[in-house]
Amino acid sequence: MDVFVYGTLTDLDRAAAVLGADRFRDRGSTRLYGLRRVDGRYPTLAPGGHVDGRLLRTERIEALDRYERVATGLYVRVSVPVNGDGEGCAAVYVGDPKRLDTAEPVEWSGEGSFVKRVEHYVRENRVAIERHD
């Protein structure tokens, strides 16, 4: 599975510590369109703009879910299309701005849970990842 990273895991040494040095592959620089980085206790994403990051390939998604604290709701994992040559989709982790004390207000409009609002925004606004080969 591909994963778009935009924070601490862009440091490949940190990614190796989380995933295991031989358990992921760096697929290079990418840009995520439709979401932008917002800093707080940890970085997260907010509607609009774009953010540069890296695409990693790993089968250790459960390790990433633990690292991003998905079970506690600190981050949610959503699927975002990767444009070009049938690349498919990549996982993207989005942190709950209310729990991360973001430096600026972040609003995810709509109804339902945080993950449902993020998924709705990603789908309705054609959020996508572009590879930089």
Q: What is the CATH number of the domain that holds 10?
A: 3.10.490.10
Query: Would you state the pLDDT for residue 20?
Result: 95
The pTM (predicted TM-score) of the whole model is 0.94
Q: How many domains does the chain have?
A: 1
48-96 per-position pLDDT tens digit: 999 999 999 999 999 999 999 999 999 999 999 998 656 699 999 999 9
Distance separating alpha carbons of residues 67 and 43, to the nearest angstrom: 13
Domain containing 68 equals 2-131
- Contacts of 15 by beta carbon, 8 Å cutoff, 6+ apart: 5, 9, 24, 26, 56
